[in-house]
Each structure stands twice: as structure tokens, then as C-alpha cells.
Structure 1
């Protein structure tokens, strides 16, 4: 059974491509995915059988061998570091809250800094497994 890695897969379009170990592309229709699976992550290692389709080789009977590791998850800060970041962020938000209670928004520079920090912290929490 040939194997390769998912080059890309778009669940909305219903297809993608597998790159074989020899470097060739194989068409991957959504119908070839295992039962209950709707998408595959780029870089996932798969085994499959090949049939000749209208436009070239086409994968059928795809089996997931190894899921691609999440780069975001691998580069996340350690929980202890994240706890310190969250505590500092709470202090900044508390200061902004005090300004708002006094009927004024934080300065433009402070607002941009706070928004940037909030987005960065949110990205570290929002990891897809």
C-alpha cells in the first residue's frame, strides 16, 4: 500500500492532494477519507490505494497513519510562563477598567498595546488539536 503526506486538503471544496514518497501528486477526494473523518491536516501521513481517475492517479481507501504535529501547540509558552503573562495582563486590564470608570478611554498607544497583548494571549489559548 503506498504512503505519503497530505499536501493540502480543503473540506469546503471536498478534495485535496497527497504527495507521494517519490514526490508525485495524487488527487484526494473527500469520499476517500475514513468513515467519520471530514478533513485532514496538512502534513498528515497517510496510506492509500491508487486508482486511475479521469485526470490521473486518485487515492481511495485512505488510512491515517500519523497526524501532523501542530506547530502552534509545539511553540506555546509553558503553563508557568503563561500564568505570569495572564497575571500581568489582568493588571493592565484593571488599569484600563479604572480609566473607563473615570469616563475616559486609555490613550491610543495604551489601547494598541493592550489589543496586541490580548490577541497574542488569545492565540496561545486557541490551539486546534
Structure 2
């Protein structure tokens, strides 16, 4: 069975392409993915069977050999830095909680800053392996 790397895959569109080791593009329909798999990461190494499709080679019976690298995981802060960020976040949340206890929401600018920070911290914790 040939092997290659996923060039890109869009779950919403239901297809993508594999760059084979021979250098050719192979169409990758969502139906060819392993059971329970809905998407593949860019540069994931796959093994697949090839059939002749209407517009060229098409992958079938795809098997994931190695997942592509996670850019989020590679770029997230060191644990010591993340600990300091969490401590600062706790202080901000405590301040917001005190404001809410006084029956008021924080000022819009402060609320936006807190929401942005919460999303960024959550993204650093939510790494898909």
C-alpha cells in the first residue's frame, strides 16, 4: 500500500488531498477515513489504497500511521510561564466576581479583556495529541 502525507483536509467540505511519496496529489474523500475519524491533521502520515477516480487517483481505506504535529502544542507557553498566567487570571476573575457580587457586570472593556484572556488560556490547555 502506498503512503503519503495529508496536504490538507476540510471536514466541512468532506474531502482533502494526500501528497504521495511519488509526488502526486491523491484525492481524499471523507468516506475513506477510518471508522470514527472525522478529520485528519495537515502532514499526518497515512497509508491508503488507490483507485482510479473521475478526476484522477483517489484514496480509499486510509490508515493513520502518524499524526501531524500540533502547532498549538509546539507554541504553547512553558509550564512555569503558564502557572504565572493562571495566577494572574485568578486575580482578574476574583476582581470580576467581587464586581458581580455588587450586582454589576464589569465594564465592557474589562469584560472583553477577561473573555479574550480566558479563551487564550483555554486554548493552551486544550491540546489535541
TM interval, short-chain normalised: 0.7 to 0.9
**What per-residue deviation string (whole Å, max 9, x for no partner) do you get for residues 40-74 of structure 1?**
22211112232212221112332322210111112
State the 1:13 CA deviation: 4.3
The count of aligned residue pairs is 129
What is the rounded CA distance, in whole Å, between the counterparts of 2:55 and 2:21 in structure 1? Answer: 20
| 1:78 matched to 2:72 | no
Structure 1 pair 69/104, CA: closer, same or farther in 2 (3 Å)? same
Whether 1:68 and 2:68 are equivalent positions in the alignment is yes
Q: Hey, what does 2:39 align to over in structure 1? A: 39
Aligned equivalents of 1:108, 1:30: Cα separation in 2: 43
Corresponding residue for residue 95 of structure 1: 95
TM normalised by structure 2 equals: 0.81
> 1:123, CA displacement in angstroms?
1.4
Cα distance change on mapping 1:107 and 1:25 into 2, 3 Å: same
Deviations 1:78-104 (A, max 9, x none): 223222211111111111211222233
Tell me, what secondary structure is at the counterpart of 2:76?
Answer: coil
CA distance in 2, matches of 1:106, 1:73: 32
TM-score, normalised to structure 1, is 0.81
Q: What's the Cα RMSD here?
A: 2.2
> In structure 2, what is the equivalent of residue 2 of structure 1?
2
1:116–1:11 distance in 2 versus 1, CA, 3 Å? closer
Gaps of 5+ in 2: none
